[in-house]
Amino acid sequence: MEDRFGQPRRDMVERQLRQRGIRDQAVLAAMGKVPRELFIEAGLRDSAYADGPLPIGCRQTISQPYIVAYMTELLELQGGESVLEIGTGSGYQSAVLAETAGRVYSVEVIPELSAAAGDLLSTRLGYRNIFFRVGRGQEGWPEFAPFHRILLTAAPAAFPAGLFAQLGEGGIVVAPVGDGEQRLIRYRKQGGVIRSDELIGVVFVPLV
Ligand code: SAH
């Protein structure tokens, strides 16, 4: 028997993602599978598949589904990559990455959020390829570097350039950047050189 969120989840994938241009089949499949209703406050479950961000406690928010899909698609994942994620939050984006990449190393500055995400993802949902660390994302996770991909889900005023040292050759970074006005930026490392593309305007909590 299917749970009551199956239909809203499929509708979200169709209307909010596919019809708006998300093409990556692995991203669409991941978002059709991860139970977003478990990542938000229990009282808000009926809004789990609404077309917007939602509160996750500690004054933080989970991004709009489209933004999660768009950022994941920009990472051009093939399935085996190791990904550094900065800003675990609820762990929803971590789960989408765990479905589309190889290993996810997720750093969160608020201990309660990291612990709750670890409990949900590892204990309840059984993910074995997501690793959690409490700390400042600007420092990355040197023990597991270099990463094939780096994703920020909190916005620095300027990109913390030290993180590029933890990005492997041919790697991609996707990050919201800006103070007030934010833009999504994609960086690529090729021949040791970083090139950047500015994409859409976004609204994320600041990287602290
Ligand atoms: N991707 C998350 C939402 C992230 S909200 C999800 O799917 O739910 C942004 C998160 O970044 C918040 O949890 C916030 O506490 C965290 N954050 C802010 N500054 C940080 C920093 N310097 N290092 C690590 N995490 C940080």
Our answer on whether the CB atom of 16 is closer than 6 Å to any ligand 1 atom is no
Residuewise pLDDT in 10s, the chain (208 residues): 578 999 999 999 999 999 999 999 999 999 999 999 999 998 999 999 999 999 998 889 999 999 999 999 999 999 999 999 999 999 999 999 999 999 999 999 999 999 999 999 999 999 999 999 999 999 999 999 999 999 999 999 999 999 999 999 999 999 999 998 999 999 999 999 999 999 999 999 999 9
Could you check whether the bond before residue 8 is cis, i.e. omega within 30 degrees of 0? no
Task: Look at residue 24 in the predicted model and tell me its pLDDT.
Answer: 98
pLDDT tens for each residue of 14-32: 999 999 999 999 999 999 9
Q: Which two tokens stand for residue 15?
A: 């209307």
Mind giving me the DSSP string for 59-101? TEEEPPHHHHHHHHHHT---S--EEEEE--TTSHHHHHHHHHS
Q: Where are the alpha helices (DSSP H) in the chain?
A: 6-11, 25-31, 65-74, 92-100, 111-118
Index of the ligand 1 atom closest to the CA of residue 136 = 23
Q: Report helix, strand or coil for 174.
A: strand
What are the backbone dihedrals phi and psi of residue 101, each rounded to the nearest 5 degrees, phi first? Answer: -120, -165
Residue 203 near residue 193 (C-beta atoms within 8 A): no
Residue having the nearest C-alpha atom to atom 18 of ligand 1:
207
Ligand 1: which of 60, 152, 177 to mutate, judged by most atoms within 8 Å of the beta carbon?
60
Kindly report the protein residue whose alpha carbon is nearest to atom 17 of ligand 1: 87
Question: 155: CA distance to ligand 1 center in Å?
Answer: 9
Q: What is the dotted CATH code of the domain comprising 51-202?
A: 3.40.50.150
Give the pLDDT confidence score for residue 1 in this predicted structure.
56
C-alpha 177/C-alpha 207 separation (Å) is: 9
Burial string for 92-102 (b: 16+ CB within 10 Å, else e) reads: bbbbbbbbbbb
| Confidence at residue 180, expressed as pLDDT on a 0 to 100 scale | 86
Q: State residue 56's pLDDT score.
A: 92
Q: Annotated catalytic, 63? A: yes
Question: What's the CA-to-centroid distance between 113 and ligand 1, angstroms?
Answer: 9
Out of 63, 82, 90, 106, pick the active-site residue: 63
What is the number of other CB atoms lying within 10 angstroms of the CB of residue 23? 9
* pLDDT value at residue 174: 98
Cα–Cα distance between 36 and 53 in angstroms, integer?
12
Residue 3 pLDDT: 86
Distance 123 CA to ligand 1 centre (A): 21
Which pLDDT score, from 0 to 100, does residue 59 have?
A: 87
Nearest to 208 by CA among 113, 141, 136, 105: 136
State the pTM of this model. Answer: 0.98
Nearest ligand 1 atom to alpha carbon 205:
9
